[in-house]
Each structure stands twice: as structure tokens, then as C-alpha cells.
Structure 1
């Protein structure tokens, strides 16, 4: 049966530290200059907020000097309930990132489904977690250069209790670069024309109603929402320095504990706040 636990109830966060080779990959075919030490400090602030303020149990995987993009841990798995689908990133060299994540998931007694093994899909399928938006009611899968329709089919076959809709990603490199969850019934969207086009398609495909929080800056569209154990709504969002025009939009969320969290160095590489963590609920009755 599909989980009835409201969206945002998490107990654990799996993260992976920033390696010294951070930024050595290329984004969009061009070399990008990043400050590794600054990225590591920002990662420390984010993980500190998840552990100390939100109250999640943090599981930190050490960095791997051979895997410069392994900090993008969100891409390695899609987790719902007690099932985790190990994904297949578009880049062949990124697929080794899943090994350490798989070990942690097994230790947490999560049922691990291997994409392309359990489901019998050939190597043509690609899927990255940053293209997957789970609303608590259904999945939206962004079709981008990172994720294709065959990958979306594997996800749909893995999580059969939920509707899975595919949408093209307009105005961003990944679905979560233009939208993310801002609460159990709220989706945060960039208000660029491309993002609005994707939003309209999602609204046509769903049978559910969602409140839309529109933000003027793309970077502000990616946030981490967690419903804390004391029934406190936490939202980690980019700082005022990164999205000065979106601060007022976040303040429209009533009774939220807002946690401004810098992500500027990862943003240079196409990353975002959600890139850094896999969130899991290991208490099925936690509502």
C-alpha cells in the first residue's frame, strides 16, 4: 500500500562530504571556477542545520577523490517509504557514486531496487534524483538531458502505488532547478517563462491541487522542506545574498521556521540545496 504519511516527515538525512576535487567536473561543457573551502563551509552549515535545528539523524558519507560529483547525492537514489530505487545517472563516470549510498541504505534496512537489474531495463535508461519531484501524492519526472522516458518507466514500475507523470524541463537543467516542495500541499516554482510552462503542464497532468509559491529567482525555487518531530515546518532556502528578491515570498509561509542556507558554490555547478541530501523516514507511524 502507498504510504499515508504526510509529505515532509523525515527522520534521517544521508549526505556526502565535499571532495577536494569539487568543481573539477565541467558543467555545460565549460570549466567553472569554484572556491572549494567555501563550498565545504557551506556544506557544514547545511548539515548543521539539518542535524541541530531540524533534528534529523545525519549519516555522512566520506568524500571520494575519484568522484568529483559525488556530493550530488540526491541523484543516486529515489526513496519513498521503505523502498529506494538506485538510479542511473546520465554520465557513465557518476554511476560508481551509488556504491556507498547502497551500503548505507542496506544498513537502514531499506529495500533497495537496482535500476536496470531488478527491472530488466537496458543501459539506455537514465534517471537522476534531481529530476524527480515527489509530492507525497504522486511523482513528477522531468525529462531532461539527465533523465529519459525509459528511466521514468523504471521509477513508475518501482513505485506502483503512485501516479508518475513525465514533463519536459523548460528553463532549467533539471526539474528541481525550477521547482521543489515547500510543504505538504505547496510547490515552489521559479516564475521564469520556462518554469511556468513546465508548471502548466504539471497542473494539467495532476488530479490534486497544490498551492504555488512563485519566486523571481531560479536559485530560490530549490528548497528543502521538513516537518519536524514537534510539528514545526522547517524550510531551508537560499540566502538573501543569493536571492534578494525572493525573501518576501518565503515570508508568506505562515508559521514556518525559515533557515537561510547558502549554496552559491554548488549553484555554479548546477547544484542546489536538495542536491546535498537524501531524506528518509524510518518511523512508518511518524505522522
Structure 2
């Protein structure tokens, strides 16, 4: 899919993790280098990077994930409602999106009288339809209903997830009409549900490494992790170009990798809406 901009958040001098043992294992210098490499790779793919400054006053790890903060499709930006919401960071992202999106809508606190939880990492837009992962401590059915209401011109398909990780960890878009997944039990279950409910058919690339499934497809460039030893991406054909990055330290902050950038396509006229 085509994108013009990416919103990213720079890593602060310290980061607050829920898991203190994990926090001690993170090399912040190496993580910043990996983030810089990811940003540079996005630039080389034709994307303008909008860097939000680090927030040393609120260094919670969740504030580093702009992709969880909004869902942007065909000029409409839906500001989400994650379980752990960084209100100040969401306000920054909303301000940036005023120059990039035609319409900005904020997810309500409730839908049909029940609390809404909605995270961008649970929402997979294939260019043809939208899959919304429903999981414990993540996006719920009320969140999926909000997505369906805001993007009413597209099929919106809720998919129940048994694990704790977001949908984009288990399934990703590698190219037009091509999805990636793994042979992990939960991934197979999700794939089967998606195949039953989908309104379109996709080719599926089943990878050996579960950690490699999430990738970032932008302007015919596929950005994938080289540090997990996955070899199957080579079967993808032109015009897709393969560009590898390392995310050994970034992945300790959270997965999937796509959490670290919110991709946007600035649409200048109605003629440019098609993916």
C-alpha cells in the first residue's frame, strides 16, 4: 500500500516497563540505533518521517507505540481507545493528523452502553477489507463495532484471538493480496477464521519464524526483521523489494514491530483514494 508519512516517537532517556527484570535487559542505546535504522529505511521507501519528541516526564513504554493510537484509512483517522491510553501523546498525534487526514474521529468511551477498548495493532487493513482482532486485555467487540461504524464502506470482520498478543503479530500484509502468518497454533486458528469470514481471497506466506510474521509493507517495499533468521521472504516477486532491519532491542519494548510507526497516506484529492 502507498504511504506518504510516518509518525514515530523517539525513545526517551529512560523507559518505564511493567516487567522490571525485562527493563534491566534492554540496551537503550542499541534500541535507539535500531529505531533510527527503521526510520531511515522508511525514508528510503519514500516516506516523510514526523518524529515526536521523547517524553521523559511520562516514560511509559506504551507511549512509544503510535500505531496503537489511530487507524487511518482513505483519509479518515479514527483515534483509538487503548486500555493504557497516554492522553498527552494521543493529543500530539491528533494535532499532527490535522494536516494529514481529511477527517478525524475519536472513538467514544462507550458503544451500546459498554466500554470501548480499541488498539491499532489489532486492526489489519488489507486494502480490501478490515480485520479486527478481539482479545483479552486488548480490543473488544465494542471497539470492533466502532471500527465498523466509522469505516462503513468497507467489510469489517471481527476475529477472536486466544492469545494475548495483537492481531498484527499473527498476520501481516506482505504485498497486494499476500498475507504472512506462521504455523504456530494460535496463528493457524486465526488464519482459519479469517479464511472463513473474508470477503476476498489472499495468497498466504507461512513463515518458519513466528517473530518474523509482522512486517511493514510500504510503497512496494517490504520491511522485515533480519535478526530472526527468516528466509522465506525471498519468494515474493517484483515489484516488491525486500529491505531488512534489526529489532532485537526494540522487540523487548513490545511487539509487533509495526507498533513503532503510524503510517499515513496524505490524500490530496478524491482521485487518490484507491490503495
State the partner residue of 1:253: 236
Verify the 8 A CA contact 1:171 1:178 in the aligned structure 2: no
Q: 1:243 aligns with which of 228, 231, 236?
A: 228
Q: 1:133 aligns with which of 109, 124, 136?
A: 124
State the partner residue of 2:217: 225
Residue 182 (1) aligns with residue 174 (2): yes
SS in 1 for 2:158: strand
Verify the 8 A CA contact 1:167 1:201 in the aligned structure 2: yes
State the partner residue of 1:102: 94
State the partner residue of 2:18: 26
Residue 265 (1) aligns with residue 234 (2): no
**Aligned-partner Cα distance in 2 for 1:122–1:76:** 22
1:25-51 deviations in Å (ceiling 9; x for gaps):
225x96443111111100000000111
State the partner residue of 1:276: 260
**Aligned-partner Cα distance in 1 for 2:40–2:113:** 40
* TM-score under structure 2 length normalisation: 0.90
Aligned-pair distance for 1:110?
Answer: 3.3
Verify the 8 A CA contact 1:121 1:154 in the aligned structure 2: no
State the partner residue of 2:141: 149
Q: 1:77 aligns with which of 70, 73, 88?
A: 70
State the partner residue of 1:124: 115
**Superposition RMSD in Å:** 2.0
Rate the CA distance shift 1:120–1:204 in 2: closer, same or farther, 3 A: closer
Verify the 8 A CA contact 1:171 1:195 in the aligned structure 2: no
Q: How does 1:27-106 map to 2 (within 5 A)?
A: 31-32=22-23, 33-51=25-43, 53-65=44-56, 66-68=58-60, 69-92=62-85, 94-106=86-98
Q: Which stretches in structure 2 are left out of the alignment for 5+ residues?
A: none
Verify the 8 A CA contact 1:14 1:60 in the aligned structure 2: yes
1:27-83 deviations in Å (ceiling 9; x for gaps):
5x96443111111100000000111x2011111111112142221110000000111
Aligned-pair distance for 1:257?
Answer: 1.5
State the partner residue of 2:10: 17
